[in-house]
């Protein structure tokens, strides 16, 4: 997608701190961290959010999340983490390329809203 920041990051047109990449996803450090560890899981395929996501893309995303669960030690998340995906205005989504926030590296608060 031409004007998508995350597509540009995935393609390497915008620099990022990449911590993992495979055929389906890139995991980068969030530029504005909100926890000791704050990563973003970016599916390589462009779709805006879970509403636009196809069932095939949902299947791929589930595989990405499962893979993440196998990398917790290398990512410093072995004591737990939180996954968040903001959607739309009320969800405060600011980038229209589906992404999952991965937060951890410290004790997180128990409020989510
Ligand atoms: P959201 O508000 O849920 O759409 O989250 C977007 C996140 O993306 C936000 O935490 C900041 C991050 N972000 C935006 N632009 C960039 C960028 O150019 N590089 C990196 N690494 N993160 C970015």
**Which domains does the chain show, CATH number per domain?**
5-90 (3.30.428.10)
Nearest CA to ligand 1 atom 20: 31
Task: Using pLDDT thresholds of 50, 70 and 90, give the confidence band for residue 2.
Answer: confident
Helix (H, G, I), strand (E, B) or coil at 106: coil
55 burial (CB, 10 Å; 0-12 / 13-18 / 19+) is exposed
Q: Are strands 100-104 and 81-84 parallel, antiparallel or unpaired?
A: antiparallel
Indicate if 99 belongs to the active site. Answer: yes
Digit-coded pLDDT (tens) for 19-71? 999 999 999 999 999 999 999 999 999 999 999 999 999 999 999 999 999 99
Question: What percent of the chain lies above the pLDDT cut of 70?
Answer: 100
Q: Report residues whose beta carbon is within 6 angstroms of any ligand 1 atom.
A: 5, 9, 14, 16, 28-32, 40, 86, 92-95
Position in ligand 1 atom list of the atom nearest CA 93: 4
Say how many Å lie between the CA of residue 1 and the centre of ligand 1.
Answer: 16
pLDDT of amino acid 113: 85
Position in ligand 1 atom list of the atom nearest CA 17: 21
């Amino acid at each position: 997608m031409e004007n998508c920041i995350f597509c540009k990051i995935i393609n390497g047109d915008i620099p990022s701190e990449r911590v993992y990449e495979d055929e389906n996803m890139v995991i980068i450090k969030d530029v504005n961290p909100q926890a000791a560890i704050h990563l973003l899981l970016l599916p390589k395929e462009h779709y805006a959010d879970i509403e636009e996501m196809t069932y095939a893309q949902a299947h791929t995303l589930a595989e990405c999340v499962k893979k993440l669960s196998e990398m917790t030690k290398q990512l410093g998340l072995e004591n737990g983490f939180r996954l968040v995906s903001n959607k739309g205005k009320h969800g405060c989504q600011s980038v229209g390329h589906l992404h999952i926030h991965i937060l951890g590296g410290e004790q997180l608060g128990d409020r989510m809203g």
